[in-house]
Amino acid sequence: VIVILFGPPGSGKGTQSQALAEKHGFFKLSTGDLIRKEIAEKTPLGLEVQSIVEAGEFPDSALVNQIAEKAIVDNITKSGIVLDGYPRTMEQVNFLDKILSGLGKKIDVAICLGVDENELVRRIEGRRVCADCKTNYHVEFNPPANDGICDVCQGSNLVQRKDDTRDVLEQRLAIYNKETKPLLDYYDQKGVLTTISGMESPQEVAAMVEKILANVELDAKSTGINA
Ligand code: ADP
Ligand code: ZN
């Protein structure tokens, strides 16, 4: 199955796609993580986009499309792919449709996580990421079992992303409302969009996501379409 998670920055896309990767072995495709990796490794591409990303802006679509295409092609044989933070623009949607149809696939389901702005600020300001394995935490809502130690890899580098500030959040939220929200109509018209509340606990949101996926798989079986 191919799943897209939509929602404003801080709505829980990364948290839910991490859960899907753990539970079902889906490949978590976060173009943001891939770009931050290029920056950390100081690759030519990373150096080119560093200042753009740290200012809260997004690199241009051609570059993001190229990164996404490679990751999709490399992982198309997995049980599923969950897209987190991609596509963000109509240009990216059209590109994605082309890649998938070339591979004989399509978007099976798009899920939008609704979270209000005050909650987004709290989540972004408290977000911490393991510098070693990229697992994400929240100082208050989702802390690791042992203070400062990653549950997954036992590393002790839980860091705050440079772009996790209220200012950058507000800027990204404006871009989300202007450029990404219209994509919801597109997926709604295709009949694959479900919008749920992202305000509940990570576990409760995960349970709603599981229900939606179970329905998708049932539909695919009853119509004989290969999911
Ligand atoms: P996104 O990928 O949409 O930007 P994240 O998954 O990184 O969002 O979540 C942002 C922050 O909020 C993280 O610190 C995460 O641990 C925390 N978080 C995620 N989901 C929830 C939730 N349902 N309730 C409370 N905090 C959450
Ligand atoms: Zn870790």
- Mind listing the pLDDT tens digit for each residue in 172-202? 999 999 999 999 999 999 999 999 999 999 9
Based on the residue annotation, tell me whether 42 is a catalytic residue of this protein: no
Q: Are 37 and 67 in contact (CB under 8 A)?
A: no
d(CA 50, CA 59) in angstroms, rounded, equals 9
**Which residue out of 13, 28, 36, 128 is catalytically annotated?**
13
Q: In whole numbers, what is the pLDDT of the chain averaged over residues?
A: 93
Place of tokens 């948290």: 15
Across the range 114-123, mean pLDDT stands at: 97
pLDDT band, residue 224 (cuts 50/70/90): low
Q: Is the pLDDT of residue 83 over 80?
A: yes
For residue 142, give the nearest of 4, 7, 12, 23 by alpha carbon: 12
Based on the residue annotation, tell me whether 36 is a catalytic residue of this protein: no
Tell which phi-psi region holds residue 166, choosing left (phi > 0), alpha (psi between -120 and 50) or beta. Answer: alpha
Q: Are 88 and 180 in contact (CB under 8 A)?
A: yes
Could you report how far apart the first and last alpha carbons of the chain are, in Å?
Answer: 5
Which residue's CA is the closest to the ligand 1 atom numbered 7? 14
Q: Three-state DSSP class for 174? A: helix
Atom of ligand 1 nearest to the CA of 9: 4
Which residue's CA is the closest to the ligand 1 atom numbered 13? 127
Cα 12 to ligand 1 centroid, rounded to whole Å: 4
Across the range 75-97, mean pLDDT stands at: 96
Based on the residue annotation, tell me whether 161 is a catalytic residue of this protein: yes
pLDDT in tens, 16-33: 999 999 999 999 999 988
Cα 62 to ligand 2 centroid, rounded to whole Å: 31
Q: Which distant-in-sequence residues (6+ apart) come within 8 Å of 226 by Cβ?
A: 220
Atom of ligand 1 nearest to the CA of 202: 23
Q: Are 78 and 27 in contact (CB under 8 A)?
A: yes
**Which residue out of 78, 105, 106, 161 is catalytically annotated?**
161
Does 8 sit behind a cis peptide bond, omega within 30 degrees of 0 on the bond before it? no
Better pLDDT: 224 or 207: 207
Which ranges of the chain would DSSP assign to H, the alpha helix? Answer: 13-24, 31-40, 44-54, 61-75, 90-102, 117-126, 166-175, 181-189, 202-223
The secondary element (H helix, E strand) that includes residue 127 is strand 127-130
Considering every ligand atom, which ligand is closest to the CA of 119? 1
| % of the chain at pLDDT higher than 90 | 85
**Which residue out of 28, 36, 88, 128 is catalytically annotated?**
88
Judging by beta carbons within 10 Å of its beta carbon (0-12, 13-18, 19+), is residue 225 exposed, middle or buried?
exposed
Q: Are 13 and 124 in contact (CB under 8 A)?
A: no
